[in-house]
Structure 1
């Protein structure tokens, strides 16, 4: 498994989780939020305001994860405030993973290490110029979701 986060002005490092490791609330908090996201956001945003939003994976929805995020991320959107199972509202799902897959997997890989190297290389090549329109599209998707009262909506 691989984890990554984006904003309009940048992206976190990719986090690779070893095969066979179950991403529970403790692994997610320790290996992703504490080890990668928190230091990256402190360096990237400094004192600027920002919002942290995540999908509805069980480790993300866990009470201890929600409490940790509320304590450490100033603009955290809780799972109670977010529609469950809404991949159309997760920029990583509706855009970034497909970009990364198309670039990193254009040629077959003979090993897991080769795939990881390709993913890291292509992740590093994604620019803020590519991320900005994805972030702007996110705002449009939020408006459509609100207009549909959380129901199905179509994007153009």
Structure 2
């Protein structure tokens, strides 16, 4: 991330213990001051909400299906497949994922989910 302009970028991660250690949170706060969405971050991501996280409800499963389609035989093959699968993600696909995510957020709001006070929307 060195050399990247992250001044207007939010960083989101899940609540895994290794992701929320004091050392990790300190690094993230230094790089994304005031813009960390995580357990113990600036915005507390709702616990156990994989249905609200596009990386969890779509991207990891999609990439896994692409990466392992030809059953890589070595670590080098795996790395090549990962690089190729990520490079093949098209902008329209990302747009569809965001549309689906918006639908999930609206459904959560309609159900009056108690954790919604912790969600901040940023455009």
* TM-score higher than 0.5: yes
| More contact order relative to length (CA 8 Å, sep ≥ 6) | 1
Residue 54 of structure 2 contacts residue 97 of structure 2 at CA under 8 Å; is this kept in 1?
yes
The TM-score normalised by the length of structure 1 is 0.58
**Residue 64 of structure 1 aligns with which residue?**
23
Cα 1:103/1:40, change in 2 over 3 Å = farther
The structural deviation recorded for 1:123 is: 0.9
The TM-score normalised by the length of structure 2 is 0.71
- What secondary structure does 2:9 align onto? coil
**Residue 15 of structure 1 aligns with which residue?**
none
> What does 1:1-156 align with in structure 2 at a 5 Å threshold?
38-39=1-2, 41-42=4-5, 47=7, 49-74=8-33, 75-80=35-40, 81-146=44-109, 147-150=112-115
Runs (4+) of structure 1 moved beyond 6 Å? none
The structural deviation recorded for 1:112 is: 2.5
Residue 52 of structure 2 contacts residue 101 of structure 2 at CA under 8 Å; is this kept in 1?
yes
The structural deviation recorded for 1:40 is: 7.1
Residue 54 of structure 1 contacts residue 60 of structure 1 at CA under 8 Å; is this kept in 2?
yes
The structural deviation recorded for 1:86 is: 2.2
Cα 1:41/1:86, change in 2 over 3 Å = farther
The structural deviation recorded for 1:41 is: 4.6
Distance in 2 (CA, whole Å) between partners of 1:122 and 1:111 is 16
- Number of positions where the alignment pairs a residue of Structure 1 with one of Structure 2: 110
Gap regions ≥5 residues in structure 2: 116-123
The CA RMSD over aligned residues, in Å, is 2.5
Residue 67 of structure 2 contacts residue 85 of structure 2 at CA under 8 Å; is this kept in 1?
yes
